[in-house]
Structure 1
Amino acid sequence: MKTVGLIVEYNPFHNGHQLHLERSLQTSGAEASIAVMSGAFMQRGEPALLSKRARAEMALAAGVDLVIELPITYAVQSAQWFAFGAVSLLDATGVVNSVCFGSESGEVEPLQKLASRMQGEPSPAMQEALSHALAEGMSFPAAYAKAASQQSGGKQSAALLSNPNDTLGLHYVRALHALASDIAPLAVRREQAGYHDAGLPAGGQIASATAIRAALARESGGIEDAAPYLPAASLRVLRREASAGRLLASGWEALAQPLFAALMTRAPQDLALVPEVSEGLEHRIAAALPRLDNWNVESLLAAIKTKRYTRTRLQRLLVHALLNHRGALFEQSTLAQGPQYLRVLGFSPKGRQLLKTMKKTAKLPIVMRAADFDHPQLQLDIQASAVHASAFAKPHIQEIYADYYQPPIIWNPS
C-alpha cells in the first residue's frame, strides 16, 4: 500500500490541515497516510491546546490512517532535531514512500539542492558565519538563514530560508540525506493563511493555527469565532473537550503556577543544566523572577527576552525547566541516534493494515501500550502528558496518566 508521511502538530486540526492532507495524498499518489505528531508540547515551546489523544482523534476523523507520537526529546527542539526525529520515525516504519510538507514556495528541488550543498554541515565555516551573525544581535533563525546563504547559495537561499515552512522543509530533506532514506520528499504550497498570521481572515475558510488559538483564548466569541475554520469533526472534539474542562485556551498561563515553582526552587547553577540555557541566561532568569510586575509567563518572557534569545527558544527553555529535563537524552550525540520506538496513538482500518505490515518492516519496536515498554524517552513523554493534563480544570487521575489507562484510538468511519 503506497503511503505518504506527514509531520504535524495539529494544534488544533483545522481546514488548512485538511487541505494539506488531501493534496499530500493527491501529489504522492498514496492510498494511506501516517502522521508523526507532537505530544503535549509544541516545537515552539508552547503547551498543546488539547491532549495528544484529542488531536489524534481529530486527525483520524479527517482521514489520517495512523498517528505516531514524536517523543518530546525531539518535539521541543530546534528545527534541525525536530525534523530529524520525525523523519527518523517515518523511515523506521518501513512502509512510508514519501513525506509531504507544506511550504511557502511549494517547491522541493531548491531545498534538495541546498541540502546537498550543506551535507555534512555544520562545517567550521558555517559555525563561524553563524557565530558572527549572532554576535550582530540577529535572532537564531535569521542568523542561520544568513550563515547558510553565505555558505550555500547566496540571495536565493536567503530568500528561501526566510520562510518558516521552507526552512523546516530543508531540515526534512537534510534528515532524509543523513539517514540515507529512500523516502521521497514532496512539497505542497501553503495557501491563504501564513504561518504567523494572527487574525482570522474575513469570509475565509482557512486560518492559521495561531489565529485559531488566539480566537479560542478570547473571553467572548471563542469557539464560535473559530468554528468556520475547523472541519466538523474537529469542532465536535473541541466542543467536547472544552465542556469537560480539557481545553488549555490560555496557553502557558494554565501552567504558570508549576512553572514558577520549578524556576523558584532552582539555584542558577541548577538552571544552567536545563537544555537551551547558555551564556549566563540562568542568572538573567533568577534575577527577573523577584522583579516581575505581573506574576504570569508573558511578563517573564518579556523580562528575559533579548535579540539573541528568541521567544521560541525561551519558551522551549521553559518547557524543559517545567519538566525537569536535563542530561544525556538531550545531548546531540544522543539525539543523533534517533527515537527508539514507534508509539501508536491511533489508527483507522487502513492503519491497522499498515501496522500489520510494520510488524515485518519496522526498524523500531511498535508500542501500543505504555505499560508494555520501558525506555527513558517514553518515560519523558508520559511525564509531559501528565503535567499537561494536570492543568485541566478538574483533572482526573485517568486523564493525567492516560498513557497507562487509555489504549490507542481505533477509528471506524461511520
Structure 2
Amino acid sequence: MFNTYMNYHMGGTMISAGIVVEYNPFHNGHLYHLHQTRKQTNADVVIAVMSGHFLQRGEPALVSKFARTKMALQAGVDLVVELPYAFSTQKAEIFAHGAISILSSLQTNFICFGSESGSLTPFYNTLHFIEDHKHQYNDAIKKFMNDGLSYPKAASLAFRSIAKEEPLLDLSKPNNILGYHYIKALHRLKSSTLPITIKRVNAEYHEPYLSTSTQISSATSIRNIVLQNDSLTEIRSHVPYTSYEGLLHYKHIYGNFVQWENLWPYLKYKLLHSEPEELKEIYEVEEGIEHRLIRYCRVAISFSDFMEKVKTKRYTWTRLQRVCVHILTNTKKEEMKKRCNHPEYIRVLGFNEKGRKYLKEKKHKCSLPIISKLSQIDQSAIRLDVKASHIYSLAFNNQISKQIIKEEASCPPIIV
C-alpha cells in the first residue's frame, strides 16, 4: 500500500478515501471512523456518500441532510455527496451498489467501512464461498422463507446451514452485512477502489442506552435521548462539540427533530384512502401485505402502535418502515426499478477547500455528471429525491416546510 501512496503523490494526484454514512446524527464513533480512515489510507481527502432525508432502515433523518452535511464538514470530512433516494432506502445489496458506484465514479482510491473483526480476509472468503455455493445458498434461502421468515433472517440461516465451521463472516451483524455487500459491489463493478475495514469499538449497532464506560455510544441511543428529552445535555460527551452545537441550533430554528410519529397522520391518511390494488403498485408492497397495512392503520393510535400490530416474522420492522416510506412518497415499482440500476448523477452537498480541489481535479474524468443544484440535471432523474424532501418537510410547520422545500431546489453546496 505504501507504493500506492507514493505513486499517487509522485503523480501529483490527491489520495482519496470514501466512507458511506448516514450521520443520524454525527457522533464520536463516526469521528473515530473518520480519523482511522484518514490514518490508515494516508488520504488527502475523505469523501462521504451520505443518505438524504430518508435512511436505509426506512426512517426519516433526525435533522435535514444539509444540517448533517455541515456537522460532517465541521468534524473533518472534506466532501459530502448524496446517496439518492433510489439507493438510500433499500436493502443492503442495492444500498451498497449505489454507494460504491458513486465512489468508483469519483475515482476514489479507497473505501473504508466498519466491521466486527477489522479484517478483510473473512469478507473475501465469504464472497468466494457464496459464489461457489450459489445454488445451494439460494435454495436454502427459499426454504427458510417458505417457513415464514424474513429475507434477512432466511439469508443468515441459509448461510449458517451451508457454511458450518468455515472461518467466514457472521452475517447476522449489520456492519458485516453492509461490508460484505460493499466488497461484492466492488467485485461486480470491477472497481479499482480498494477496500479497508476498521474494527468497530465499544457500542453495539442498535444499543438503546448511552455507554457509561466510554464516550462512544450508538446512534440509536443518542437518538433516543434527543427525541425523548427537552435537554440535550446528556449526549454532550458522546458527540463532537460541533454536532452538539449543531443539534441545539437546529432545534432552536426548526422547532423539532424528525421521527416517524411526525409523519404518521399523513401515512394513515394515505392508507385509509387507498384501495389494495393501488398499494400493490408501490415498491416493496408484496405478498398481500397491503391488506394488513390497511386493516391495522384503522385501529392504530400511533406509528409505533401500527408497526407492532403489522410486523411478523416475515415482515420485519425495517422492511415495513421502508414500505411505509415508499407509500408516503408514492414510489411505484416501475419507477424505482428503473432508477436503482445505477446512479444517474452525483449531487454535491458540501465541501471544504480540499474537497473543492478534488472536485476540480476529477470533474472532467468522472463518469457521472456532478451537480450542485437540481436545475443542472434532467428533472425525471431527481424526481424521487424531490418528492422525498417534500414529504420530509411535512414534519414541520408551514414556514419551515417551505424552507426545506426551497433548500432542496436551490441550496448551493455548504462550504466550511
Instruction: Assess same fold via TM > 0.5.
Output: yes
Match of 1:385 among 380, 386, 389: 389
8 Å CA contact 1:248–1:392 kept in 2: the answer is: no
The verdict on how the C-alpha distance between 1:246 and 1:371 changes in structure 2, with shifts beyond 3 A counting, is farther
| SS of equivalent to 2:47 | strand
- 1:143 and 2:149 correspond: no
Segment of structure 1 superposing worse, 388-397 or 176-185: 388-397
8 Å CA contact 2:122–2:168 kept in 1: the answer is: no
| SS of equivalent to 2:382 | helix
The 5-angstrom pairing of residues 83-102 of structure 1 reads 83-94=96-107, 96-102=108-114
Displacement of 1:329 after TM fit?
Answer: 3.1
| SS of equivalent to 2:285 | coil
- 1:117 and 2:122 correspond: no
- 1:401 and 2:414 correspond: no
Which residue does 1:41 correspond to in 2? 54
The verdict on how the C-alpha distance between 1:375 and 1:66 changes in structure 2, with shifts beyond 3 A counting, is same
Displacement of 1:203 after TM fit?
Answer: 4.6
| SS of equivalent to 1:291 | coil
* TM-score (normalizing by structure 2): 0.92
8 Å CA contact 2:125–2:168 kept in 1: the answer is: no
- 1:316 and 2:316 correspond: no
8 Å CA contact 1:149–1:157 kept in 2: the answer is: no
Percent identity between the two aligned chains: 39
Q: Distance in 2 between matches of 1:371 and 1:255?
A: 28
Runs of 4 or more off by more than 6 Å in structure 1? none
Which residue does 2:93 correspond to in 1? 80
- 1:185 and 2:195 correspond: yes
The 5-angstrom pairing of residues 167-182 of structure 1 reads 167-182=177-192
Segment of structure 1 superposing worse, 386-395 or 68-77: 386-395
* TM-score (normalizing by structure 1): 0.93
Displacement of 1:379 after TM fit?
Answer: 1.7
Displacement of 1:354 after TM fit?
Answer: 0.9
Displacement of 1:247 after TM fit?
Answer: 3.7
- 1:258 and 2:266 correspond: yes
Segment of structure 1 superposing worse, 34-43 or 255-264: 255-264
Q: Distance in 2 between matches of 1:107 and 1:93?
A: 25
The one-letter amino acid of 2:79's match is L
The one-letter amino acid of 2:362's match is M
The one-letter amino acid of 1:199's match is Y
8 Å CA contact 1:329–1:377 kept in 2: the answer is: no
Match of 1:9 among 22, 36, 43: 22
- 1:280 and 2:288 correspond: yes
8 Å CA contact 1:58–1:233 kept in 2: the answer is: yes
> What's the C-alpha RMSD, in Å, of the aligned pairs?
1.8
| SS of equivalent to 2:325 | helix
Displacement of 1:158 after TM fit?
Answer: 6.9
The verdict on how the C-alpha distance between 1:150 and 1:392 changes in structure 2, with shifts beyond 3 A counting, is same
**Alignment gaps of 5+ in structure 1:** none
Displacement of 1:142 after TM fit?
Answer: 2.1
Q: Distance in 1 between matches of 2:266 and 2:21?
A: 27
Displacement of 1:157 after TM fit?
Answer: 6.4
Match of 2:170 among 160, 165, 185: 160
- 1:30 and 2:43 correspond: yes
- CA distances 1:257-307 after superposition (whole Å, capped 9, x unpaired): 111122122101111111221111111111212233x2x111111111000
8 Å CA contact 2:20–2:50 kept in 1: the answer is: yes
8 Å CA contact 1:14–1:209 kept in 2: the answer is: yes
The verdict on how the C-alpha distance between 1:334 and 1:398 changes in structure 2, with shifts beyond 3 A counting, is closer
Which residue does 2:310 correspond to in 1? 304
Segment of structure 1 superposing worse, 320-329 or 207-216: 320-329
- CA distances 1:93-149 after superposition (whole Å, capped 9, x unpaired): 12x10100011111111102212333499x443332111112234333221122234
